[in-house]
Structure 1
C-alpha cells in the first residue's frame, strides 16, 4: 500500500510538473508573439518606406483610385440603369405575391449584370479616354474626372425627364443654363435619380395591374362560393405564376426595361 507520505510526495511532484509546463507554454507564447510583432513591425516599416519613396503623382493616383473604389457602389446605384432594374424586379415579386423568391441576392445580381451589359459602351469610353491615360500619368486627376463624366452625363441626360430637371434646377437655385453642358454634375445626377424613380414606378404599376385583376377575380369567386375564410392569395398565387411563365415573363420584362434606355 502507498503511504500517506508517498501520496503527498506524488501530489507535490504533479504540481511541480504542471508548473513547469505552464511556464514553458507561457514563455513560448511570449516569444512567438514577440517574433510575430517584430515581423509585422518590419513589414509596416518596409511598406512605409516604399510609400515614402513613391513619387507624389503615384501616391495621389493611388489615393484617388482607393477613393473611387469606395464610391463605386454609390455610382452604380445613382448613375446607371441599376436603379430602374432593381425597383421593377422588386415590384414584380410583390405583384406575383412571392415574399422571398427570387431572393434579394439573385435580383441584385441580375440587375447588376444587366447594368454592366447596357453600360458597356459607356464604360469602354471612360476606360479609353480617362482611366487609361490617368493610370499612365498622361492626365491630371481633375482632367481625368471631367473626361470620365462626359459619357456618363450624356447617358443620364438622354434619360432625364424635363419636369424633373426643372425641379432640380429650381432647388439648386442656380441661374437657368443656356445649354445642358452648363448644368452642374449634382443637378444632372439628382435629376437622373428622380427620373429613374418615376419611370421605374410607372413600369411597376403596369406590371402590377394584370396580377391585381387575377387577385380580384379569385377573391370574388371565393366570396360567391361562401369561402370567406380562405385567403385569396393561396388560390391566386399558382395562377399568377403560371401566367407569368406561359407569357415568358422574364424575357418580356428584361426586354421592356432595356428598350426603355436604348430602344432595343
Structure 2
C-alpha cells in the first residue's frame, strides 16, 4: 500500500529517480537500477523519471512496470520520438493515461521494455525545456529523489534539487546510491566544502549516501522514508510560500 502521508488527491505517492541514459561499463549499474525500480513499485509508489528508454533510465522504468508499478516520464519535445501506436500528452500540466514515448537520448540498447498491457501505467509528459522538465519532475515527486550513477545531466539534476531543499523551495530528501563507490568523490567534495566553510554542517544531511553491495532498492526506499519524515517538518532558508510585495 502506498505511503500517502505527504501526497495530495492530485499527486500520488511518488519518488523521482535521476540516473544515466547510458548503461555504464559495469553491469551492476543496470542491476541496481532494476532493483530500485522494482522496490519502488513494491512499495506502492509511482516512479517519476526523465522518460528515456535507454541505459539506467530505461532499466529503472522497465523494472517498475514489470513489478506492477506506475511510471511517469517527463521529456522535452526535442528529445521525443513518438512510439508507434501511442500518444504523448502535450499538456505539461496533466499527464494522460496510456501514453508512451521513445527518445534518442543516451547510448546503448533500449532497456525500457513496455508491453501493451503496461500502457495504462506508463505516462509521458512532453515539455518545452529542460527547466520545465525538472520543475514538473519535482512537483510530481512529493516523497523526494533518488540518484543513481549518471553523467552531467544527472549531476545537475541532483544538485539543483538539493539546492531547492536548502533554499526552502521544497523540503525533500536526496538519496544517492553509491554503487561501486561511484558517488564517493562527491561525498569527499561535500566534506571539503563543509570544512572550507561553503556548506554548513547542518546541511550535510540534505544528501544521504547509501553504501550497499546488494538489496539496493530496499536500502534506498528505507532511506527515502526516513529522510522524508525528517525533512518535511523542517524549513529551509526562506519561506517561498509567503506573499511578497514590491515597493512602489
Q: TM-score, normalised by structure 1?
A: 0.23
The structure with the largest helix share of the pair is 1
Structure with larger Rg: 1
